[in-house]
Each structure stands twice: as structure tokens, then as C-alpha cells.
């Protein structure tokens, strides 16, 4: 039986009330973000560009090998939110990055 402190949420897929912690864990597992090599990405990881990318609206190109530090995951498993000193609000597709060791 679940702890009395655990709240419950209605799971529309199953039609059942489930512990919130269980639903949150299942959602996190379902949203796996992977780089071009298949490595799992997480918030705070650093990535390297695997090809030159023209940045729309910025009028500049990010070169292959550029390191992007401290990424943030988005709701879309194919995109990551990034910070770069020259470009604000940068969103990259995961197919163009590789996790930095």
C-alpha cells in the first residue's frame, strides 16, 4: 500500500488512480532523449556538434566540433535547449549533436 503522504493522479490511459510518484517515474522513462550516436542525454550534459549548422535568424554558422555546455531537455525528444555565448535561445536537433565524454 502507498504512503498516506503520496498524492494520486488519474491515469487516463489505464482509467485508474495511481500514485503521483509512479506516474512521474513512468513519464521520465518514456521521454528518453538520445544523441546522434544513441547515447542518452540528460539536463546539464555537454554536447559537441557533429556537423556545421547555419543558425536561422542569427546569420552565423556553428562549426563542427563546437562544444555546447549545460543543455536542457525539452518536451520534444528530438530537440534540446542550449546556451551559446553568441546566440540566445538556441534549440538544436539531437541528430546533430554527440554527448561529450
Q: Give dist(CA 21, CA 19) in Å, integer.
A: 5
pTM: 0.69
C-alpha cell, 79 = 530537440
pLDDT digits (tens, 9 = 90+) for 47-81: 999 999 998 888 889 999 999 999 999 989 999 99
**Count of structural domains within the chain:** 1
Give the helix/strand (H/E) hosting 24: helix 20-30
* C-beta of residue 7 within 8 angstroms of C-beta of residue 68: no
In a domain, 23, yes or no: no
* C-beta of residue 72 within 8 angstroms of C-beta of residue 80: yes
> What CATH number corresponds to the domain at position 89?
2.30.30.40
In a domain, 65, yes or no: yes
pLDDT digits (tens, 9 = 90+) for 3-54: 455 698 888 878 889 888 887 777 666 678 999 999 999 999 999 999 999 9
Q: What Å distances lie between residue 74 and 4, 18, 95, CA to CA?
A: 32, 25, 15
Please tell me whether residue 94 adopts helix, strand or coil conformation.
helix
Residue with more model confidence, 87 or 93: 93
pLDDT value of position 2: 46
**Residue 1 pLDDT grade (very low, low, confident, very high; cuts 50, 70, 90):** very low
Amino acid at each position: 500500500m502507498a504512503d498516506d503522504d503520496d498524492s494520486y493522479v488519474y491515469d487516463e490511459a489505464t482509467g485508474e488512480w495511481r500514485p503521483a510518484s509512479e506516474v512521474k517515474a513512468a513519464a521520465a522513462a518514456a521521454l528518453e532523449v538520445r544523441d546522434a550516436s544513441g547515447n542518452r542525454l540528460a539536463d546539464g550534459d555537454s554536447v559537441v556538434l557533429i556537423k556545421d549548422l547555419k543558425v536561422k535568424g542569427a546569420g552565423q554558422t556553428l562549426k563542427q566540433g563546437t562544444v555546447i555546455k549545460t543543455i536542457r531537455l525539452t518536451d520534444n525528444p528530438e530537440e534540446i535547449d542550449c546556451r551559446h555565448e553568441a546566440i540566445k535561445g538556441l534549440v538544436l536537433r539531437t541528430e546533430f549533436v554527440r554527448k561529450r565524454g
